[in-house]
Amino acid sequence: MTGLAMAAALIAAPSFAAPAADAPDPAADLKAFQKYFKDKFPKVKFEDFVNGPYSMDEGLYRQWKEKEEFPPYEFALDLGKELMAKPFKNGKTLADCFPNKGIGVRQDYPYFDTQQGQVVTLELAVNQCLEANGEQPFSYVKDEMAAVTAYMAFTSRGKPFDVRIPDDPRALAAYENGKRYFYTRRGQLNFSCATCHVQSPGERIRAEVLAPALGILNAMPIYRSEWSGMGTTSRRFTSCNSQVRGVPLKPQDEDYRDLEYYLSYVSNGLPISGPGARP
């Protein structure tokens, strides 16, 4: 009895550097992950975690609210809507590839495709659709891909993340791989994702206020002032790798997809807020 209770306590505690010997327990991870951030920021309303640095800093929050009055991602939204409905050479459309024509489904991505045996993110699904219909795939980092994912996110605004891990060892392995990636240090700066987004959210790295990892993908894709334009999850992952002076992987690399899988899963329950604006 005591042994079990202790084991349960160990799993529930934020023992992020836990050795691989522990049996993977995503549900417990999720609870621990969310508890960690709620405890660290007791004044932040749960659903506000999706606003990243804006929920961590008053001055940033006000600037963000001013811009949200007429947000800079408006153009991407219009383009995205257009692209979803634009017929391919074979007469089909992007919308046809998605459940419910792509409306209100973003919160279900990524998912583990048991047939393909891999994690399918929204961006991957878009390009798989294009290729399956004989069309040129979009670049993963911006422009059309950002526009389409922006529109799809917009139609899911408010819906809570609902990422599933099916009862399939490969899915569990992908989840664990994503988690491993998240906590592994890399690059000249020797930072892991957790170094900034778990250890130091709300604090500054140089001049930027760090976002908490909880809810960090809910606002994707984002219009970043830094980019003066839109960028996708792929863009953020690759540029983040470069910023810690590591070698970025190719967009939608397996590790990135697994990372997105992990990060999305542990943010289950938080509302989709995309597309978003960021510094």
Partner 1 sequence: MASSIRVRATANGDTTEVQALIQHPMDSGFVKNAKGELIPPHFIQQVAIEHAGKPVFVADWGPAVSKDPYLKFAFKGGKAGDELKVSWTDNKGATDQLTTKIQ
Partner 2 sequence: MNGSSSDRAALSRRVVLQGIAAIAVAGVAGLRFDITTAFAAANDAYPEDAFKQKTEADAIKALYGRTAQASDKVKLDAPEIAENGAVVPVSVSSSLPDVTSIAILVPANPNTLAAAYRILPGTAAMVANRLKMAKTSNVIAVVEAGGKLYSATKEVKVTVGGCGG
List residues near partner 2 by CB under 8 A.
59-60, 62-64, 66-67, 72, 206-208, 224-226, 228, 279
Nearest residue (CB) to partner 2, 184 versus 225: 225
If one asks whether residue 229 binds partner 1 (CB under 8 A), the answer comes out as yes
Minimum distance, C-beta of residue 64 to partner 2, in the bound complex (Å): 7
114 makes contact, choosing from partner 2, partner 1, none, with CB < 5 to 8 Å by partner type, with none
78 makes contact, choosing from partner 2, partner 1, none, with CB < 5 to 8 Å by partner type, with partner 1
Nearest residue (CB) to partner 2, 19 versus 59: 59
Q: Is residue 111 classed as helix, strand or coil in its secondary structure?
A: strand
If one asks whether residue 279 binds partner 1 (CB under 8 A), the answer comes out as no
75 makes contact, choosing from partner 2, partner 1, none, with CB < 5 to 8 Å by partner type, with partner 1
62 makes contact, choosing from partner 2, partner 1, none, with CB < 5 to 8 Å by partner type, with partner 2
Q: Residue holding tokens 């878009």?
A: 126
CA nearest neighbour of 178 among 249, 123, 127 = 249
If one asks whether residue 2 binds partner 1 (CB under 8 A), the answer comes out as no
- CA–CA distance, 40 with 55 (Å, rounded to integer): 13
> Which residue type is seen at 104?
G
Helix ranges restricted to H, 72-200:
74-85, 122-132, 143-154, 169-183, 193-197
- The count of C-alpha atoms lying within 13 angstroms of the C-alpha of 77, restricted to the half-sphere facing its C-beta, is 17
- CA–CA distance, 121 with 181 (Å, rounded to integer): 17
Nearest residue (CB) to partner 2, 39 versus 66: 66
- CA–CA distance, 83 with 169 (Å, rounded to integer): 36
240 is catalytic: yes
Give the β-pairing of 222-224 and 276-278. parallel
- Residue 72's contacts (CB-CB under 8 Å, 6 or more residues apart) are 223, 277
> Would you give the binding string for partner 1 spanning residues 70-99, x where CB under 8 A is met?
x-x-xx--xx--x-----------------
Minimum distance, C-beta of residue 83 to partner 1, in the bound complex (Å): 12
Catalytic residue numbers read 240
